[in-house]
Structure 1
Amino acid sequence: MPFADTEATQRHIDEISGDVARAMLIMDRTGWHTTARLKTPKNIIPIFPPSRAPELDPVENVRHYLTAIRLSHRVFETCEAIVATACEAWQKLLAKPLDCRTRRVPPSISSGFARLIAICDPPMS
């Protein structure tokens, strides 16, 4: 999809909704995330962190992890070397996904989200 807009967001939410029993979806406050035209299914719980709080944005945590831990203080000879290094960093992140979250999110926030997850989606027995 070539644009980030309400239609793209709706398709993304619908795709997630069809694959899970319940999910929390963290979204920033861009217009296409907050418009009344966006129809959120009952099994999706939208979470809107405060504006101008990048430390609460999971994408910012990923960006910070990739740049600070894997991609900083390096000189690349070619564009292909940059892409290869970024792909390798991404694969390492996928192999160890909690590593980036624990580097920047303050404990009070991460424990708050953990409590919210436990409330919204209790463990299956």
Structure 2
Amino acid sequence: MLDQAGWHGSRQLRVPDNVTLVPLPPYAPELNPVERVWLHLRERFLSHRLLNSNAAIVDACCQAWNALTPERLQSLTNYPWIRKVTS
């Protein structure tokens, strides 16, 4: 899936025959699965905190990311329309 950001549109990109690129509408965060992952991380781990340094920010982000389980990632990114597109 591509969110149509400028850097996702290289003319030099060679897509294998067994891969289908699915572009999202120009602005559709509700359709982009990774947006739900970032929202989850912000709401559960990163918001309403004061961090003293860049290192503390990186540590907090790493701890949040490492707290994600495969099951949680699947539940956050499991859109019914994705299954239809990929099957």
Q: Residue 77 and residue 35 in structure 1: after superposition, are their counterparts in 2 closer, same or farther (change >3 A)?
A: closer
Q: How many residues align?
A: 86
Q: Residue 34 and residue 81 in structure 1: after superposition, are their counterparts in 2 closer, same or farther (change >3 A)?
A: closer
Higher relative contact order (CA closer than 8 Å, sequence separation 6+) = 2
Q: CA deviation at 1:62?
A: 2.2
Q: Residue 69 and residue 40 in structure 1: after superposition, are their counterparts in 2 closer, same or farther (change >3 A)?
A: same
Q: Which residue of 1 aligns with 2:83?
A: 114
Task: Indicate whether 1:66 and 2:41 are aligned.
Answer: yes
Please tell me the root mean square deviation across aligned C-alpha atoms, in Å. 2.2
Alpha-carbon distance in 1 for matches of 2:65, 2:41: 7
TM-score, normalised to structure 2, is 0.76
TM-score, normalised to structure 1, is 0.57
Higher relative strand content: 1
Moved over 6 A (4+): none
Identify unmatched segments of 5+ residues in structure 2. Answer: none
Q: Equivalent pairs: percent with the same residue?
A: 33
Question: Which residue among 46, 62, 73 is the counterpart of 1:97?
Answer: 73
Q: Which has the larger radius of gyration?
A: 1
